[in-house]
Structure 1
Amino acid sequence: MNHIVLVHPAIPQNTGNIMRTCVATHTKLHLIKPLGFSLDDKHMKRAGLDYIKDLDMTIYENWEEFEAKNPGIYHFYTRYSNRTYTEEDYTMPGEHYLLFGHEHDGIPHDILRAHLNECVRIPMYADSRSLNLSNTVAIGIYECLRQQDFPDLVRHEVQKGEDFLVEESDTLRP
C-alpha cells in the first residue's frame, strides 16, 4: 500500500486537494501535527468536497509517534536532494510512505538529516522557489503508481463510457 504523509501542513486548500488525490488513488493520508488549520476549516472542506467521507486518514501528535507506528519504505520529497523522484524505486515490496513538508519550510531539517539516503527532489527551473504542495503530491504518487503498474486503478472511463465522445460528436454535426 502507498501512503501520503504531510508533515505540519499549513494551507487547508492544499490538504483538501491532497485528500481528493488520496481517495482517487486509494492512498492513505497521514497528517502530522501541528496543523496550520482546523480540520473543520471551510476552505479545506470545500477543496475536499464529498471525498472526505471515503478518505482513509490518521492524525499524529508528532513525528516520533508517526515514525514509531509506521515502519516501511520512506521517500522524502525535498529540495535538498541530488536524486530525482524518478530515480527512486517504488516497486520494492512493502509499505511506501511519500513524505511532504510544510508549505513554507518543508520537512524539518532534523528529520531530513536522519534520512538523507531516502530524499528525492522534483526538478524545476533554477529561479523557481517551489511547486505547490498538492501538485507535488500528485506528481509523486502518480510516479509511484506508474512504477507499480497502477494497482487497482481503472484504466478506462467508467462514468460515461468509452463511446461518450463518439456519440457526443455525432449529435454536434449539422
Structure 2
Amino acid sequence: MTIPEPNSSLRVVLYEPQIPPNTGNIARTCAAFRLPLALIEPLGFCIDDRAVRRAGLDYWPHVQLSIHSNLDHLLGQLPHPHRLIGCSRHGGDSLGEFQFQHGDVLLFGREDNGLPGHVRDQCDRILTIPMPGGVDADGQGGVRSLNLSVACALVSYTAGHQLQMW
C-alpha cells in the first residue's frame, strides 16, 4: 500500500499498534484533522477487527490509511523533506517548546513498550509530553504514560495548530 496525500503537512504513524480501540480512536482523530495514518506491521489485531471499526465509528472512509511491512518500507515512500519525530514518554524535547515543520511525521510506539531503541535511533527528533503527575526517575509515584490515543491527539492538534493547518 502506498502513502496517500504526498503534500500532507503532517502524518501520523503507529509502530506495531497492539490495542484495537486505540487504533480506531487514532483513526478518528486523523479523519477529524485530515492527517494520513500509517500503520507499521505486525499489528496486534486484524484491521477489520470489530473493536477497531467500532472505535473509528463510521469515520473509516475519511481516513487516509496505509499499512507498511516495516519502518524501512514506510521511510522509503515518504516525500522529502520530512522529519521523523518519535513521540516517547521520556528523553525528548517538550511538546510545548517543540517547533514543528511542514512534512513532519509523528511516530508513536507500541502501547506496551513504546518505541524500541533501534527505531528511536532512526528518528530525527524525540518529543515528550510533559506530565507533572508522571512517575519520577525511578518509575515511582505517578502516572507512567498517557493513553496512546490521547497522546496522539495532543501532539497532532498541537502540531497542526502551530503550523496553522486549521
2:45 pairs with 1:30: no
Q: Deviations over 1:133-171 (max 9, x none)?
A: 00000000011012112x2x3xxxxxxxxxxxxxxxxxx
Question: Per-residue CA shift, 1:2-53, capped at 9, x if unaligned?
Answer: 1100000000000000011000001000000000000111011000111001
Scaled by the length of structure 1, the TM-score of the pair is: 0.81
Higher helix proportion (structure 1 or 2): 1
Instruction: Find runs of 4+ consecutive structure 1 residues off by over 2 angstroms.
Output: none
SS at match of 1:75: strand
Per the alignment, residue 94 of structure 2 pairs with 84
Name which of 113, 118, 123 aligns with 2:121: 113
Within the alignment, does 1:128 sit opposite 2:128 as a pair? Answer: no
Identity among equivalent positions (%) equals 35
Deviation for aligned residue 1:87: 1.8
Q: Label 1:46 to 1:67 Cα distance change in 2 as closer, same or farther (>3 A).
A: same
Give 1 or 2 for the bigger CA radius of gyration: 1
Residue 159 of structure 1 corresponds to none
Q: Which residue of 1 aligns with 2:138?
A: none
**1:113 Cα offset (Å):** 2.5
State the number of aligned residues.
148
Q: Supply the distance in 1 between the matched residues of 2:84 and 2:96 (Cα, whole angstroms).
A: 15
SS at match of 1:143: helix
Deviation at 1:79, TM superposition (A): 2.2
